[in-house]
Amino acid sequence: MQASKTLAKGMLIILLATAVVKVFGYGFKIVASRWLGIEGFGLFSLALALFTLIAGLVFTGINLSIDRYVAFYRGKNKFASVKSTITSGLLLIFSLAIFAGIIVFFGANQIGSLMGHTNLAPLLKVFAVMFPFFAIVLTIEKILEGFQRMDLSVFSNLILNCSKFLLLLVAIFLGVKVFGVAISFLIASIFTAFIMLLILRCKILNKFFKKEKGNNLKSSIKEIFFHSIPLTITSMVHTLLTWGDTVILGFFRSVAEVGVYSLVLPTAQLLALPVVASNAVLVPLISNLFAKRKNNEIKSVYKTATKWIFLMMIPLLVLILLFPQRIINTIAGSDFVAGYTTLIILAIGVFIGSLATPANMILLSVNKTKLMMKNSIIAAVVNIVLNIFLIPKYGLIGAAVAFLVSYSLLFIFRIYEVKTIFKAQPFSVKMVGIIVLGIITALLVQSIDFLISPFINFDAFMLLINIASIGILYPSLLYFFKCFDSEDKEILQAIKRRVLLKK
């Protein structure tokens, strides 16, 4: 029970911090889609997808190694080795980023021609300049996480997303379009990189390493590089799974379709906000329980986390399934409404994949990383193959179906593996009741909408009514039908006490 309380309280804190970051990140896409229009936003999104794909392939695995070695040497109080890890890690990442930036900058015209969109080249050159600054931000985030400064790591994301959003508003004020928005994105990354370097110097280097001399940089670079190889493979697979569909869609179809997909995908991914919160809490909590061989507590946390993620996602899923056209029209305009079926399919995929996140965190916590890598490789291969076969004929729907199938596969793999290893399953009978209440909520909300909509011809206002209806009906039904057991009530009381204490 104590572990479950820790899970809930930690999820609340991270959820609130992450929500603010997500609001600005998602706000950027909404405003950009309206300002640039469907084709301009599609072109920008395709350039960003290519940039992120290349960045993930080049240095994401190395960042994870830096995080690991900083935490490892810090735990052993070997601060000379920690300093060497920080210095060599930054040097290695910066060098790789410069190399990647040069390749992309001088190959921008060829990449644009290969993708069938020659006007992509100027944007790729802007993003090429961004590589070293983006690499610095990601690396310092991992260094801060190695020092268990999650607050500063989340702060970096907040700076980046806030500055992107504010500079986008400046670009709109100046009247510049796609190229200007790309420049604003670059300036935001440069600004964030310098802020993060300042934070690293003041909060880490000056505090821990004033008189500390580092070890041999050459051996430290070698250590990080070779440790990162399997992590890099896993990261490559994950990056392909995340961004491959957008790039393949841009290769076979129009930038307008890329624009629609780049808007509806993050909309569907809003479902996963509870998952983002649980990730930061589950790994250290389960690792600690695993070290103490408290398998029964692990099973309890596993079931509780899955139930709470499920419970929190149901109202968001109901909203998307009932009113996809209204949601898209409200946030991006009528040009994007054609993607409403895609939004539904993607939302179902995100929902299914998110339910297996606690299982994935258990596999990570008990060091089943090879198993995780195999899962990711299979899902990525299936995703890419399906995208290649489905996108040319079915476009957006094909990309969404590929997403749904690949994430459903990951769900099956993860649930089965945890059941085999721990003899644990995450689902309870109470979750069937929650599904029924979700359906009742959907029927009631649909009825209210049917009665009111003839008198209000304004999607944004109707969407607010829909959200309010779900927000009132769903929790009321949960409470009325006693879907919270004694453990859930204790968790809610723990959250309430924590909030009141902070106030």
Please write the tens of the pLDDT for every residue from 88-110. 888 888 888 999 999 999 999 99
Q: What is the mean pLDDT of residues 304-324?
A: 89
Q: Which residue has the higher pLDDT, 214 or 453?
A: 453
Q: Is pLDDT of 503 > 50?
A: no
Tell if the pTM clears 0.85, that is, is over it: no
The pLDDT, as a whole number, for residue 241 is: 75
- Going from N- to C-terminal start, the domains of the chain cover 18-233
How far, CA to CA in Å, does 398 sit from each of 257, 379, 406? 12, 16, 12
Q: Which residue has the higher pLDDT, 392 or 277?
A: 392
Q: Is pLDDT of 287 > 60?
A: no
Report the b/e string of 328-361 with b at 16+ CB within 10 A. bbbbbeebbbbbbebbbbbbbbbbbbbbbbbbbb
How far apart are the C-alpha atoms of 178 and 176, rounded to whole Å?
Answer: 7
Query: How many angstroms from the chain centroid is the CA of residue 433?
Result: 29
Q: Which residue has the higher pLDDT, 144 or 170?
A: 170
Q: CA torsion, points 358, 492, 281, 380, in degrees to nearest 10?
A: 30
Q: Which two tokens stand for residue 71?
A: 């935490």
